[in-house]
Amino acid sequence: MNILKENERIDELHRNNYVIIQDVKRFCFGIDAVLLSDFAKAKKNDIVFDIGTGTGIIPILMSAKTEAKKFFAIDIQKESVDMAKRSVELNKLNDKIEVFHLDIKNVFDKFEKNSVNVITSNPPYMNMGGGIINEYDAKAIARHEIFCTLEDIVKATSLLLKPNGKFYMVHRPNRLCDIICTLRQYKLEPKTIRFVQPYKNKEPNIVLIESVKNGKVLLKVLPNLIVYNENRQYTDEVNKIYYH
């Protein structure tokens, strides 16, 4: 297996000496994926499923942070899946993480309903009516609901999860009404929300959401997470998420 291809690089993840392969011309992971990997929780022996895994950043980080038994990950972009598989191989995680080139709309061709404990997703944020489409296809697919919508992800999540299974998602606050309505439509009850601000005096630009399949109605809003301090450096909490 070739380690690197044209335009690719290896980045350190500062967890268990893990690394990840990324293509500088494609969509590289951002802080939202890192924050989601910390916000999401998995118990010992849990089966975790990542929708739209990209280069596999979330299962790789969660494999270092949790005692989950197994991670499955899917993505519609063949090149991203190839990079994710090579990263899994590089980190010697083949027994723990499996990555598949698969459309979420066809997920039950390979996976059974009511079969996983935890689902994570860092989905495309922009609906097809919002934002400027990037000319580079890989970035456009990652950012815009071209091949899957919010509803596609939530519907599949509801069917994949076992009863009382948990769904963790990162998204944009301006889609929050759509998100909550769609979650409830498919019997996923929002349980915990945390907003993320770039700076103390800036409005949130990221929201982290935990929901539970068939959960009772009770929503907890955590204190906002601030990413940068006044010196434009990571705050202590973000530093801890990245490096400890």
Residue 79 lies inside a defined structural domain of this protein:
yes
Backbone torsions φ then ψ of 166, nearest 5 degrees: -115, 140
Number of domain units in the chain: 1
Residue 3 lies inside a defined structural domain of this protein:
no
Residue 219 lies inside a defined structural domain of this protein:
yes
Residue 125: pLDDT band (50, 70, 90) is low
Q: What is the pLDDT of residues 167-220, one digit of tens each?
A: 999 999 999 999 999 999 999 999 999 999 999 999 999 999 999 999 999 999
Backbone torsions φ then ψ of 132, nearest 5 degrees: -95, 125
Closest CA to 55 of 32, 33, 29: 29
Q: Give me the torsion for CA of 180, 216, 193, 159, rounded to 10°.
A: -60
> Is the pLDDT confidence value at 131 over 50?
no
Q: How far apart are CA 74 and CA 2, in angstroms?
A: 21
Q: Which positions ≥6 away from 49 have C-beta within 8 Å?
A: 71, 72, 73, 74, 111, 116, 118, 119, 120, 160
Helix (H, G, I), strand (E, B) or coil at 227: coil
Q: What is the structure's pLDDT at 124? A: 79
Q: What is the structure's pLDDT at 133? A: 42
Residue 1 lies inside a defined structural domain of this protein:
no
CB distance 208 to 194 below 8 Å: yes
CB distance 116 to 162 below 8 Å: yes
Mean pLDDT of the chain, nearest integer: 90
pLDDT average, residue stretch 68-88: 95
Q: What's this model's pTM, rounded to 2 decimal places?
A: 0.90
Residue 144 lies inside a defined structural domain of this protein:
yes
In which domain, by residue range, is 218 found?
A: 8-243
CA-atom Rg of the chain in angstroms: 17
Cα 96 from chain centre:
17
Residue 232 lies inside a defined structural domain of this protein:
yes
Residue 153: pLDDT band (50, 70, 90) is very high
Q: What is the CATH number of the domain that holds 33?
A: 3.40.50.150
Amino acid at 15: R
Residue 2 lies inside a defined structural domain of this protein:
no
CB distance 158 to 116 below 8 Å: no
pLDDT average, residue stretch 34-60: 97
CB distance 198 to 177 below 8 Å: no
Q: What is the structure's pLDDT at 141? A: 41
> Is the pLDDT confidence value at 136 over 50?
no
Q: Could you give the count of Cα atoms lying within 13 Å of 171 in the half-sphere of its Cβ?
A: 27
Q: What is the structure's pLDDT at 90? A: 96
Residue 53 lies inside a defined structural domain of this protein:
yes
Q: How many CB atoms lie within 10 A of CB 181?
A: 12
CB distance 84 to 99 below 8 Å: yes
Q: What is the structure's pLDDT at 145? A: 43
What are the E-state strand segments in 35-184?
A: 47-51, 70-75, 97-101, 116-121, 161-171
> Is the pLDDT confidence value at 68 over 50?
yes
